[in-house]
Amino acid sequence: MVAPALLSPRTPSPSARVPAATLIRGFGGNIPFRCTRSRLLFVAPSLRAPESYPLRAGSSNLGMAAGGGVGSPERDSSPTAYEESLNCLSSLITRRTRADGTNKGDNFDLMFDYLKMLELDGPISRLKVIHVAGTKGKGSTCAFTESILRCCGFRTGLFTSPHLIDVRERFRIDGVEISEEKFLEYFWWCWNRLQEKTNDDVPMPTYFRFLALLAFKIFSAEQVDVAILEVGLGGKFDATNVVQKPIVCGISSLGYDHMEILGNTLGEIAGEKSGIFKQGVPAYTVPQPEEAMSVLKDKAFQLGIPLHVVSPLDSGALKDLHLGLDGEHQYINAGLAISLSRAWLKETGNAEGINFQDTTFLPDQFVRGLTITSLQGRAQIVPDSHLRSQERNFSLGDLVFYLDGAHSPESLEVCARWFSHAIRDVTQHSDTQGEQHFAGHNASQILLFNCMSVRDPQLLLPRLVNTCAQYGVHFHRALFVPNQSVYNKVGSHVSAPADSQHVDLSWQLTLQKVWESLTHSEKDAGLSSTRDHEHSSVFPSLPLAIKWLREHVQQNRSTRFQVLVTGSLHLVGDVLRLIKK
């Protein structure tokens, strides 16, 4: 790793105690550099950082960052500068706890200390922010909003979470994830200053708080016209809520999720989400369950602001075009995005030149923005390129992945509707037994599923299965796998242990038991000690499950296999990483 020119190396005091030290390679050799949760220490005070940052990973200069000259043979075996930044970022991951009055919002006020340390308290006040919270659809709403305003000619910054493959997905400038060079520049700018200035009383920020601070730095330095911020979790004590005066706030559909953190009732959850409302800042939401809506209205009333309830977008307003994001539920998110974009334009005095007079059709810029919006892992359809590259005769079998990161009962119902409609669109007919066919061949639906152990599969899986059944869709088999990525490390190539014999599959066997109870007899459902049932299988790793699917396609060449991947955004990201290699 190469330290940026902004860092002044220093020698640690003799009393310094730095656990879990990591030796990191730098220009010309090994830099005694320790990346820990509490301190970033350089042992060589005479070492000077280069005046400019090296080229991105994969460029010819990276060999220097990896410990040798240009094209050094050590490059492939040494961590890259980017990987080392991810290692440092991983050191900030902690177990999430409920932020409430008993712990001062998990010490939320520390965010203001961090802003001062980074000299961002001034720049953040000048950002023209759109702030969005919610349980379902907040990421899609932010993506639609960003695309609309970009098509209106504004320089946009978009901060979303989580990422699926690469952490840089969270930071987008003008619709494009930040480059590796700029990520490294801004990452070390923030990291080095915080390492120098934090202490026992004000420790290094936790993982998401650091990412939010990094977003503020990126958007300020890149001089975006508008910053669209998606809340990470909750609202009131979320790191993004350090913004004191956004231009407009929005709350997407609310439901039951993260209840161990946000509360057990819709009212409690709505109370946390409405924490992003600010006095004097217009607020928008979509139709909500009565319990949640009542709390949102009360909060708005206390602040003396109107709460605008937005109807779903009428598809006719798109002038015979379609939303860039698939699924009927996206018309709810698009409706909210339109209102947020219109409010931002008017509040900032930028509405001139945009035709809002036509009550039948949307302005052309809005239509274009909505139709070109893209977001990975949400109602995404990806054919398996591996099989297609090996099989020139595409008619002999096919494997298509339908990916959606739904992980709550409500969102899984929406996912099931989308999947059922999506496969119906490519299915020409069904026989009298309900067997589906594609272009004269059979179509077989398979579920690839995992969810976090804090979620209740008794609530998730029945919602998915029953909704699909209403549309005549029945899964021929369900595959349960542990996530390939690990939760305590950030990286593009992070994976589970190679030794699949020692992977704990107790949770996947629990999921399988729930599945079998839904699709089979009670007797068979009790046989949870085995991995293979007539209608389901448990695999010790995702690569083995993908391998099985590909082999199954080769053995059944007259069938199109439609695989729904859902239950976890982490799982969706892992699948995308594997099938796009």
Expressed in angstroms, the distance from the first to the final Cα of the chain is: 25
Beta strands per DSSP E along 404-540: 429-430, 436-438, 441-449, 477-480, 536-538
Residue ranges of the binding site = 161, 230, 258, 378, 404
Q: Quick one: pLDDT at residue 51?
A: 37
Q: Is residue 139 part of a domain?
A: yes
Residue 271 and residue 397 share a domain: no
Pick the closest to residue 111 from 245, 220, 213, 232 (CA basis): 213
Question: Any idea what the Cα angle at residue 487 is, between residues 484 and 492, rounded to 5°?
Answer: 60
CA dihedral defined by 327, 176, 216, 281, rounded to 10 degrees?
A: -40
Which of 321, 348, 372 is where one domain is finished? 372
pLDDT at residue 102 in the model: 57
Question: In this structure, are 147 and 273 located in the same domain?
Answer: yes
Q: Which two tokens stand for residue 232?
A: 């990470």
pLDDT one-digit tens code per residue, 537-581: 999 999 999 999 999 999 988 899 999 999 999 999 999 999 987
One-letter amino acid of 271 = G
| Whether residue 212 is found in the same domain as residue 303 | yes
So what's the pLDDT on residue 78? 63
Whether 316 is covered by a domain: the verdict is yes
Count the domains in the chain.
Answer: 2
Question: Residue 485 belongs to a domain with what CATH number?
Answer: 3.90.190.20
Residue stretches of the chain with pLDDT short of 70: 1-78, 95-105, 257-261, 387-397, 426-441, 485-489, 491-501, 520-533
Which pair of structure tokens corresponds to residue 243? 């913004």
As a whole number of angstroms, the distance between CA 565 and CA 401 comes to: 7
Q: Say whether both 242 and 298 belong to one domain.
A: yes
- Cβ atoms of 187 and 215 closer than 8 Å: no
Q: At what angle do helices 290-303 and 266-273 cross, to 10 degrees?
A: 30
Which element (helix H / strand E) includes 410? helix 409-425
What's the pLDDT score for residue 18? 35
Supply the pLDDT for residue 490.
77
Backbone phi, psi, residue 398, to 5°: -160, 150
**Could you tell me if 459 and 348 lie in one domain?**
no
Residues near 116 by Cβ (< 8 Å), separated by ≥ 6? none
Q: Which two tokens stand for residue 315?
A: 């598809």
Domain boundary pick from 372, 389, 415: 372
Residue 10 domain-assigned?
Answer: no
Does residue 310 sit in the same domain as residue 368?
yes
Cis peptide bond prior to 79, omega within 30° of 0: no
CB 516 within 8 A of CB 524: yes
| CA–CA distance, 65 with 29 (Å, rounded to integer) | 9
| pLDDT on residue 387 | 62
- H or E element, residue 381: strand 380-383
Whether 113 maps to a domain, the answer reads yes
**Calpha distance 238→240 (Å, rounded):** 5
Q: Which domain holds residue 264?
A: 106-372
CB of 237 closer than 8 Å to CB of 106: yes
* pLDDT of the residue at 385: 78
> Are both 334 and 414 inside the same structural domain?
no
Does residue 426 share a domain with residue 366? no
pLDDT at 424: 85
DSSP codes joined into one string, 131-175: EEE-SBSHHHHHHHHHHHHHHTT--EEEE-S--SS-GGGGEEETT
Residues with Cβ within 8 Å of residue 419, at least 6 apart in sequence = 402, 404, 468, 473, 564
Residue 253 lies in a domain: yes
Claim to verify: residue 160 and residue 248 sit in the same structural domain: yes
Same domain, yes or no: 307 and 391: no
Gap between the Cα atoms of 80 and 465, Å rounded: 44
Pair of tokens at residue 430: 């069904």
| Total residue length of the chain | 581
Going by C-beta distance under 8 Å and a sequence separation of 6 or more, which residues neighbour residue 507?
453, 482
Binding residues for ATP: 378, 404
Which residue ranges are tagged as binding site for Mg(2+)?
A: 161, 230, 258
How many CA within 13 A on the CB side of residue 44?
15
**The pLDDT value given to residue 404:** 95
CATH of the domain at 200: 3.40.1190.10
**Beta-carbon count within 10 A of 148 CB:** 29
The helix (run of H) or strand (run of E) holding residue 557 is none
Q: Which of 322, 349, 372 is the last residue of a domain?
A: 372
Task: Decide if 73 is inside a domain.
Answer: no
Query: What's the CA gap between 81 and 47, in Å, rounded?
Result: 17
Q: Phi/psi at 571 (nearest 5 deg)?
A: -65, -45
Are residues 278 and 350 located together in one domain of the fold? yes
Lookup: tokens for 574: 């892992």
Residues 394 and 541 in one domain: yes
Residue 13 covered by a domain: no
In a domain, 226, yes or no: yes
> How many angstroms separate the CA atoms of 262 and 257, rounded?
8
